[in-house]
Chains A and B, each alone.
Chain A
Amino acid sequence: MRIVVADDSTVMRRIVIRTLRQAGYDCSDVIQAANGQEAYEAVINDDPDLVLSDWNMPEMTGIESLRAIREAGSEVLFGFVTSEGSAEMRAEAVAAGAAFLIAKPFNSDTFRDVLDEFVA
């Protein structure tokens, strides 16, 4: 499974990848993106199966990246992993085409509970 992990924090990208691995998902093909623009380019160029993205990032935010990805015609599975999990943000995420929003802090159980519905 090819996964794009987008977060402007290096340590948070590592924690997301580590948690994916602990939850039992295949992390042999992970592309790291430091902002929404890099995530968008990774989706267009590398055709991933899943995008896990922070919301609040410099250059291009996660929600802007998702909208650009959908406008480009990609239907890639996209979920947010972010420090904010309000009902307003969840609604905005779903309206833009996100499948889910995981609020930090999280653990491997959180990932399994959310991702198992979407990832075989």
Chain B
Amino acid sequence: MIEATTPCLPSHEELAELVEDVWRSFLDDEIVVGLEAPDDPDRTLMVAWVSITGEWTGHLQVLTTRVGAEGIASAMFQMEPGEVSSEEVADAFGEIANMVGGGVKGMVGVHTALSLPQVVLDSRALISPEAHQHSSIHAIWRGEPLEFSLWERGEKNEKTNQHNGTAVGGV
């Protein structure tokens, strides 16, 4: 039974060790873990996370690029990067968050529950992997970009009705 009463969160080094263990075991590769974020703000990022709730509450989140997530999925499925589907990328990437999050949960040392992993394949669109973009418009306001996009869950439906109107031009 758990005896600790104060949550004990993993250090950077311990978190890195959890990640390195997962990579060695399931991707058959080494990973270099550091503290500095890469300076590349224009990347499309994918997000996977699990929530830990209870006497301590938090989230273990993983971010990577689409190329990175495809690489993870292809290594875990033992397929070529171009062969993995979006569902397989989401499945594998979510499992990475699940395994590292499970390790963190075990280290926290107080009574908690782990959620199922959640995955968003494009952090610009916080929606499910099954959705497709129906339309989008872009704007600049006070020098900052804005994007409004409409997404539809499920298979793309060619019969979806669309309102008639003036086409939106470039901004």
**Interface presence of B162 (CB below 8 A):** no
**Interface presence of B2 (CB below 8 A):** yes
**Interface presence of B26 (CB below 8 A):** yes
Report yes or no: B1 in contact with A104, Cβ–Cβ below 8 A: no
**B106 is contacted by which of A9, A14, A85, A105 (Cβ under 8 Å)?**
A85
User: A11-B76, A11-B88, A84-B105 given as contacts; is B94 within 8 A of A105 (CB)?
Assistant: no
The residues in A between 54 and 99 inclusive whose CB is less than 8 angstroms from any CB of B are 56-58, 82-88, 91
**Interface presence of B103 (CB below 8 A):** yes
Interface of B is mostly: helix
Report yes or no: B2 in contact with A15, Cβ–Cβ below 8 A: no
Interface residue count for A (Cβ, 8 Å)? Answer: 24
Interface residue count for B (Cβ, 8 Å)? Answer: 27
Report yes or no: B25 in contact with A106, Cβ–Cβ below 8 A: yes
Report yes or no: A9 in contact with B91, Cβ–Cβ below 8 A: yes
Cα-based distance from A29 to B54 in the complex (angstroms) = 40
